[in-house]
Structure formats: structure tokens, C-alpha cells
Structure 1
């Protein structure tokens, strides 16, 4: 049975850990050649090692998405290596230190916007230029549940994730006729190693958090990755401009049950 991404090649940014690593591994498991990218050298190289251990095809390029030249080089090197660009998962992002808007430092606001919005702009700009040369492609941007609702003390992060969802819809409209699909995933709280440690240290809080979700649990990085891969696959060929909530039903309820 053919794999979802057999014969395709693409990029995953922020692939050194968490959702990005799971995404890169999932794309590779589905037959894709993956250019792994992260600002952290050792983390990105570890993702490549894990992919190759399971027989996947991956390479690593260090990239700071807040630097336009770095992003252009990432796309150029991917095409040089694989000869095309079929998909991209623009996952790299940061959050601001918790603070209400009065106490949020300007440097934290500016840094969050630089990585999350400028970085996405650079990625879309050069990925789409490349995809236009190769007859189309599919892009998934990582937004957030916080890009659908407000989150206190995360003003810069929330602003950028609403921006991610907005630009996703806009670019999807701009390039639909050229065969380029653009969607976003909106993860809620996801079971990363850091969250696992917190749940172990505070089991009572863990139960409260899990019970706030209609599915009574938080999502896994693999579930987020699976959504990204599916949206980039031909199985989602009629889907573009969608902000997909991968949140266990959290955004569908008006209050915790």
C-alpha cells in the first residue's frame, strides 16, 4: 500500500523537538524526504538521526527563521538536495514570558512577533516562489488554540497566532489557482516531555487540566504531526484556507464541562 507522502520532498521548521520533531518523523515514515530545520544544531541533527534509524530520508540545515537570508538559504538548499519542494510545515515559533499587557516587555513583544510572524512571512515567500516553479504544493503553518481564542498573560503569542491563522487564509486565496494549498493546525495543550514532568509533579492539576477537554485528555505530539501530514497529503486535496483545531474539542465548547 503506497504511503501518504511517497515520492514527495519538503521542509519542517522547528523540527528539533516537540511537534516539529514528531512532524518530521511522521512525514518521513509516510515516505517523504525531509529537510529538517531548527535553530539548535544538536537537536536538529538528533531528529535526523531518529529518522534515519527507522529507514527514513532526512537532512539537516540550521536556520533562524527570524533571518530572511537564513530562510532563503533553507529553501534553496532543499531544492538543491531534493530537486523540488512539494510541502512545508512551518512550525518554528516561540512564546512570550507570561505577563499582562502592561507588564509585557517591549523586547519580548518584538522578539515574539519577529520569530512567529516575520519568520512565517519569510518562509511563505520563498516556499511559494519555489512551489510555483514545480507546479504547486501544500503548506501547513502551526498556529495555536490561542489563535482562536484569547489566553491571558500571553498577549504577544496570541497576537502572532491569530496572525498565523489570518495569513494562512489570505495566502490560500492568493495561490489556490496555482495549485498551492495553505492550511494551519491549531494545537491546544500537547503532551510534551515538559508537560509530562509537570503532570508527574502535580497530579491533581493534571486531572483538572485533562478533564477540561471534551476528550478528557491532552493531545500528543504525534496527533498534531498526523494532522499536518494529512493536510499536506493528496488525501486533503480539496482543503485549503482552513485553521484546523487539533484540540480534543476544546474550542467547540463554551465552557469547561
Structure 2
């Protein structure tokens, strides 16, 4: 059995108050990693930390808007200070759009989705890179989406944001592979989480997408199944995996 090599490593997981992020944070902790839980929800973040600590692990929480540079700096500084370095960054936090077609997407929806789903991972990765470069190693894992692989899984804003994240991952993989840094992405299919979609079923976007999704998806996945893929990509078991986009979707991307 290949060792994950995660014991004692410093890990940041964003969006770890619930869903895929919480499942990933718990799994990293079970592998012996020290985990910083970053999220907008104080209650959820503290619950994740408590669960890790109750099981004998090491964790701490930073609460705030991850598209705010001040919060980003705090996340990275706290991790480095508490853990002695930052080995793994999991850019998992994200929000859905309203499944709006482009013609129905207002400025507020577009800017909010792009800010959280694309700008926040950019800011966090930029802040983490100097520490990883100094150490000569690092693993960056992004939570993308099936919407990053096709145009029929979400609205215009979410689809654009997740296509953008894939481009970011591939560029990172090329730019920093000689410095020992890997960047990979999981593309979840429909997964049971607490994320809600505030869509108007009478609008053009949801009407079109609803028919397409219903015809092509397989079963619903669990947050734990997504977490397994995230931890694998972050670990030494995936030491030669870089720039990969891994669908975790029961074959939806193969349809």
C-alpha cells in the first residue's frame, strides 16, 4: 500500500464548514495532517474543528470571506505559524449561480459567482505559493465541477467560473512543476451537500438545463467520495499526477 505521506503536513481546506470541504478536512486529519478550516460560517467551521480534535487530530479555524485579501492573508499566515509550513492547499469553497442563461444573468450574480469561485482560489494560491516555493514542494487541489467540462450543467456564471478554474490549474501545473509544486482538480458530478440552487424554474436557463441534467446524470455521489479523490490528489500516492482534471461523477462526463 502506498503511503499518503500526509502525516504531519500542514493543510488548508476552504469551504470546510460543511459538505465536500468538511469531509476532506476530516479525512486529511485521519491521515495525520494538521488542518486549517477556512469558511464564512463560524458555527460550521468550529464544528469541523471540534470533530477533528475530538478524534485526536490537530485543527484550527479561520472565518471570513475568502475573496477578501485580508482574510486570505490571515488564512495563510495562521497555517504557516501554527503548522510550521503550508504543504497542501485545497481550494474547495464555491457557490452556485441561479442556473441563469447569459441573457438572464445580472451583474450581481456574475460578479458574486466569479469572485467566490475563481478570484478567491487565485488569491489563496498566490498567497500560498511563496511558502511552497521556499519549501520546494506543495500540492494544490481545486474543486471544479462537471460544469467545467461542459456547457449543460449550470448557468453562464458558474460554467464560466469552473472553466476558468480548470485553466488556472493547468497553467499552475506547467509553471511550477520544476519547483516541486503540483496542481490538480476534481470535477464532481451531482453530490449530496447543503448547497441550494435558487433558480426560477420558469426562466430560460433552468428550463433548458433541467432537461439535460435529468437525462444524463447517474447516481448522486457523497461528500466522502469526493473527499477521497481530493486527498488522493494531494497525497504522495499521486506524486506524478500534475495538471489532471479528475471527474468524480459516476461516468457523467463519459456520456
Structure 2-normalised TM-score?
A: 0.88
CA RMSD of superposed structures (Å): 2.0
CA-CA distance at 1:15 after TM superposition: 0.5
Partner of 1:176: 177
Q: In 1, distance between residues paired with 2:21 and 2:81? A: 22
Q: Which has the higher contact order (CA 8 A, sep 6+)?
A: 2
Aligned partner (choices 211, 227, 230) of residue 228 of structure 1: 230
Partner in structure 2 of residue 56 of structure 1: 57
Q: Deviations over 1:1-20 (max 9, x none)?
A: 96651121110001011000
Change (3 A) 1:89 1:98: same
C-alpha displacement of 1:129:
1.4
Task: Report how far residue 66 of structure 1 moved.
Answer: 0.8
Q: Which runs of 5+ in 1 are unaligned?
A: 196-208
| Distance in structure 2 (CA, Å) of the matches to 1:4 and 1:137 | 12
* SS across alignment from 2:166: helix
1:139 Cα deviation after fit: 0.8
CA shift in 2, pair 1:228/1:153, >3 Å: closer
**Is 1:146 the counterpart of 2:144 in the alignment?**
no
Pairing 1:101–2:107 present? no
CA distance in 2, matches of 1:71, 1:193: 24
CA gap 1:77/1:154 in 2 versus in 1, 3 angstroms: same
Structure 2 gaps of 5+ residues are 197-212
8 A Cα contact 1:100 1:152, kept in partner: no
Q: How far does the alpha carbon of each residue in 1:117-157 deviate from its partner, in whole angstroms, 9 at most, with x for none?
A: 11011011011111111221101011100000113661100
Any conservation in 2 of the 1:34–1:59 contact (CA below 8 Å)? yes
Of residues 235, 246, 255 in structure 2, which corresponds to 1:244?
A: 246
Structure 1 residue runs of 4 or more that deviate by more than 6 Å after TM superposition = none
Of 80-89 and 64-73, deviating more is: 64-73
SS of equivalent to 1:191: coil
* Corresponding residue for residue 33 of structure 2: 32
Query: 2:46, 2:184 → 1: CA distance?
Result: 27
Partners of 1:151 and 1:74 in 2: how far apart? Answer: 34
Q: How many residues align?
A: 239
Distance 2:23 2:242 in 1: 23
The alignment's TM-score, normalised by the length of structure 1, stands at 0.88
- CA-to-partner distance for each residue in 1:187-209, whole Å, 9 max, x for gaps? 010022578xxxxxxxxxxxxx8
